[in-house]
Amino acid sequence: MKLDDTANHVETLIIGGGIVGAGIFRDLALHGHRVLMVDKYDFCGETSSKSSKMLHGGIRYLENFEFHLVYEALHEKNLWAHLAPHLCRESPFLIPVFKDSLRPLWMIRAGLFLYDLLSGFSNHHHKILGRKETQKILPGLKGQGLKGAGVYYDCIVDDTKLGLEVIYDGLQESNAEALNYVEVTKLITSPGSTIVQATLKDALTNQSKQITANQVIVAVGPFTDIFMNKILGNSWTPCLLPNKGSHLWFKKETLPIQAALVIQEKKGRIIFVIPHNDRVLVGTTEVLAEQPFESLTPSQEEIQYLINLLQDYFPNSNFGPSSQLSSFAGVRPLVRDDASGDLSKTAREHKLYFPMHNLCVIAGGKYTTFRKMAEDVASWAQHRENRPYLAGLTTNSLRQRGTILPWQHNTFNPEILEHIMRNERPRTLEDVLYRRIGAYNADEWNLLFASGPSFSEGQALIRTLIENTKIEDTKSLL
């Protein structure tokens, strides 16, 4: 759909098409709200595609006594495992414990019991493994000082595709529309007016259009302060402490582990090592993020930090440039907390701001709780329109309609590729490769498709499909 085809007036304009904006969009669409969502880039193209690929309660938040957040996140994790099992699967996570570990085995046991308790015992029950069992599941793990491991259960998720599916689910309602690569360049609210005027600009065609909305919701994650300063100037008080997290992808043969691993770093941080089909994800770091957020990459110091931790846990493995497939870095939109400058202990609760009576800004939170975050904002929008808010509507499994078609393992599937072009709204080559398929380079393409066209042949095919669907590919990075 082109910018020209959008309605001239909507009840709610959502700015930001990451996971939180997607959740709000779907929620309002299911309530019959006339809603338009726009994103300056591709849907879920920034932070929402650069997470640790987990839906989890947040085992480390227990030490900060954030029991409400853990309770909420665990219940949301289990809900999405039910609603989207094709994108989200439960997996065991092992916490090896050594003689010199910061957290001894008894403390791990107590923490995992509390974790299960906060889930309402809907998690698979935790257990404690001995040394030999631990090394069998994690081959190559160092044996010196190893006491055993605690095992708990969280979910591994395709973060990008879950966000896209939430959007596509909302798009099945006739009153809802979403546009990627469309930027809001201006918002105007006249004194005493109940209407907001917004200027939209297509980033690929430079086409512009003015629309009006009864209210506006800003859900742009780490870009919140940047966007609000542009709109409100000095009257906006910065609310975020942007936090950069970096991850590395490794070849599976480098780390042939059978379950996810939780590394307890000596200073208290937790690093995840998570197997995904034919590769393994390692992360994350926590450092202050510097602008521009769109072009962040892991620093050499962050890469070496993660590799050093792996080498400590797996001393006989060879971690070198040839074993690393790719890397990525994203920004967590942590809400500023004057009481603590410790990034690892900054609260992950979300906050709502109302700089104008018809403007809501949501900041903070974590990926796993996006649906609950969306409920807070969608209920505000519904009540402003003098409509009831039905809290249980978004949990109806019949409404999550499975739009995303997972790739058949190791087989190139042209039918699914054509489905993507018709239904998933990619506008550039990178949209298809990075976020719809998940191949950032030739090595990852070859892992996904052991049989089928080469990486260069695949790119040519995708370009042809883009041209056939009359989408201008003006932003390819390849």
3-state class of 323 per DSSP? helix
CB 249 within 8 A of CB 281: yes
Count the Cβ atoms, other than its own, within 10 Å of residue 20: 31
Q: What pLDDT does 236 receive?
A: 94
The pLDDT confidence band at residue 201, using thresholds 50, 70 and 90, is: very high
pLDDT at position 152 over 90: yes
**DSSP characters over 218-267:** E--GGGHHHHHHHHHGGGSPP-EEEEEEEEEEEEGGGS--SSEEEEE-TT
Q: What is d(CA 183, CA 230) in angstroms, rounded to the nearest whole number? A: 12
The pLDDT confidence band at residue 477, using thresholds 50, 70 and 90, is: very low
Q: What pLDDT does 7 receive?
A: 92
pLDDT at position 17 over 50: yes
Which residue, among 51, 54, 57, 66, has the nearest Cα to 123 in the 3D structure?
57
Domain boundaries, the chain: 3-48+160-239+345-399, 83-156+241-337, 414-468
Mean pLDDT, to the nearest integer, of 263-285? 89
pLDDT digits (tens, 9 = 90+) for 302-347: 999 999 999 999 998 887 777 899 999 999 999 987 555 554 545 5
Q: What pLDDT does 463 receive?
A: 87
pLDDT digits (tens, 9 = 90+) for 212-239: 999 999 999 999 999 999 999 889 999 9
Q: What pLDDT does 41 receive?
A: 95
pLDDT at position 191 over 90: no
Q: Which residues sit opposite 35 in a β-bridge?
A: 12, 176
3.50.50.60, 3.40.50.800, 1.10.3720.10, 3.40.50.2300: CATH of 3-48+160-239+345-399: 3.50.50.60
The domain 83-156+241-337: what is its CATH number? Answer: 3.30.9.10
Q: What is d(CA 362, CA 373) in angstroms, rounded to the nearest whole number? A: 8
pLDDT at position 26 over 70: yes
Q: What is d(CA 285, CA 293) in angstroms, rounded to the nearest whole number? A: 16
pLDDT digits (tens, 9 = 90+) for 50-85: 999 999 999 888 888 889 999 999 999 999 998 888
pLDDT digits (tens, 9 = 90+) for 92-123: 999 999 998 888 999 999 999 999 999 999 88
Q: What pLDDT does 30 receive?
A: 93
Average pLDDT of the chain, as a whole number: 89
